[in-house]
Structure 1
Amino acid sequence: VLISQYRIYGDKIPHWVVVSGFDDRFVYVSDPDIGEDHEPFTGSDCLSVPILRHEFDLMARYGRDKLQAAVFIDKKAR
């Protein structure tokens, strides 16, 4: 899902994250960019990061036109 980093990092730039799950309160994302400002960093720091659903809904709209983009992957073998 394409998100705006503004609500996380204060940067008004688009950023791709992988939605790895969700429940009633949170959307869980894998964000490979999370480690740059967090020390010490381990690979697991970027996996299943919980974001409140309301916040994610706001983040998943980009720019004045509130554009949205997502890539869906189906794991069915062909």
Structure 2
Amino acid sequence: MEITKIFKGEKSFLVKHQKREKWVVENSDVVLEHYQLPEGKWKVVSMFVVSEHIISRDLEKNNTQFLGIKELTAKTFR
């Protein structure tokens, strides 16, 4: 069930996340303006942050990085 909710189908968390990522990439100027960020060499990195380890992230192949909240560090964003 966890694999289906996260990875399978048009309503899965991952598909919804990828649609949002695509929107941000295509509308980066709107995002920069909204958050009053300076123009520059910005890069959108797809990342799925979860509150606890999800075993299915190791079972399914995808291009999105899955991280537990405890795995986030400043180094993650460099």
TM-score (norm 2): 0.23
Instruction: State the structure with bigger RCO (CA 8 A, min sep 6), 1 or 2.
Output: 1
Task: Report the structure, 1 or 2, having the larger strand content.
Answer: 1
Q: Which has the larger radius of gyration?
A: 2
TM-score (norm 1): 0.23
